[in-house]
């Protein structure tokens, strides 16, 4: 279960960081063998809930970076690196919340994988009550 949690945390962080460099119009997505658009769900020409402009351009990196930092910090707590273990649930909660808002603002069929990862992380931590002590076994 610990490996699955780490994989979800790292994948969630990656998917949120891709918002910082969305696929530009006319460019081809990454090849399928590295995940294609599943691993790179953001594209400049995607329809967003917030109209393109300053608000979207400001909100996207804030949410993407916040989600990634929180999820990576939660992974650090799980691995016993620097971050106190009792912060784990809070870090996952804030990371998932920021990620959910980001994915909903940039809603598209490609947002399905990040949304499923967010739901899985929230379910594991808050539904099943998994914490660092239980995950380390």
pTM of the full predicted structure? 0.91
Q: Where are the domains of the chain?
A: 2-22+49-136
pLDDT tens digits, residue range 61-112?
Answer: 999 999 999 999 999 999 999 999 999 999 999 999 999 999 999 998 889 9
Is residue 33 scored above 80 in pLDDT?
no
List Cβ<8 Å contacts ≥24 apart for 46-55: 46/22, 46/106, 46/108, 47/107, 47/108, 48/105, 48/106, 48/107, 49/104, 49/105, 49/106, 49/107, 50/105
Q: What is the mean pLDDT of the chain?
A: 92
Q: What is the pLDDT of residue 66?
A: 98
Q: What is the pLDDT of residue 98?
A: 98
């Amino acid at each position: 279960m610990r490996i699955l949690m780490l994989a979800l945390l790292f994948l969630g962080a990656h998917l949120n960081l891709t918002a910082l460099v969305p696929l530009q119009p006319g460019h081809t997505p990454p090849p399928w063998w590295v995940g294609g658009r599943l691993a790179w769900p953001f594209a400049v020409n995607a329809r967003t809930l917030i109209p393109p402009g300053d608000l979207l351009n400001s909100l996207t990196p804030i949410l993407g970076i916040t989600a990634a930092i929180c999820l990576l910090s939660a992974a650090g707590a799980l691995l016993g690196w620097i971050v106190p273990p009792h912060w784990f649930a809070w870090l996952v909660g804030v990371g998932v919340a920021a990620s959910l808002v980001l994915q909903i603002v940039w809603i598209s069929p490609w947002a399905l994988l990040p949304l499923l990862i967010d739901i899985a992380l929230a379910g594991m931590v808050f539904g099943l009550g998994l914490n660092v002590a239980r995950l380390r076994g």
